[in-house]
Amino acid sequence: MSFHPRMFSLVKGFSPLNDVASLSLDEIVLDYWQVDSQLGARGRYVSMHPRLVFMLDDRKLLLRRHKTDDPCAAAAFYIPAGFEIRSGVDQVGVLRHLDVHLSAKCLRSILGPKAALHTPIFLGDLEDVQPFVEVLTKECVWPERARDHVKTLTHALVLELFRNLPTNVYKAVGDTKIDPVRLENAVLEHAARGISVDDLARHFALSRSQFDR
């Protein structure tokens, strides 16, 4: 049976510039989107399956769990199945992004039995995953590689995103509890050049007031 991701969305101010370019693999669907974002563009989304999103062209989405939360600017993010997320934009214009939809079974097989699949991930930039994102985006538009090759690259993309968890994961939107060990590690990591309180708040995707609390 083919894998068909299901997602419910309510958007305003986002207009597709062309049809989505999709590539279907075993229990994985890659979607490449190009949309125009207008002033005040926003959306609400909940997917029935795990979803990863990678923003292109150094763009970011402003994400929050609840309407009253402070937004987190993310260039790459993982959203667990059934997790509702709200999005906005930091600037108007064309947005390009690659969405990776997977079945929970597939994601578990890639990451292993101990992976925390119920915790969202928000990264401030693409970092090490950018080469994989660029290749897979091209494959959606102009397929050249064998399906098994593309599947392997997709698995590598997922592994690279989750590999960043120990030091680079941003806290779930609205979650202001900070692990003291992670806080200490962040300070020690930047001890040589110094790190401000504002920088630490951004590191944990919190506002200054949330971090102070």
Output the pLDDT for position 195: 76
Output the pLDDT for position 155: 97
d(CA 180, CA 185): 9
d(CA 158, CA 153): 9
**Residues in CB range of 188: below 8 A, 6 or more apart:** none
pTM recorded for the entire structure: 0.77
d(CA 141, CA 116): 32
**Residues in CB range of 24: below 8 A, 6 or more apart:** 2, 3, 30
Output the pLDDT for position 142: 96
CB-CB contact of 80 with 118 (8 Å) = yes
Give me 146's structure tokens: 């064998």
Q: Residues 147-191: pLDDT tens digits?
A: 999 999 999 999 999 885 543 343 444 445 666 667 777 777 776
Range 194-198 contact pairs with CB under 8 angstroms and sequence separation of 24 or more: none
Output the pLDDT for position 46: 94
Closest CA to 63 of 112, 120, 136: 120
DSSP of 140-154: HHS--S-HHHHHHHH
Output the pLDDT for position 42: 95
Ranges of residues in the chain with a pLDDT under 50 are: 166-175
CB-CB contact of 21 with 140 (8 Å) = yes
Output the pLDDT for position 210: 66
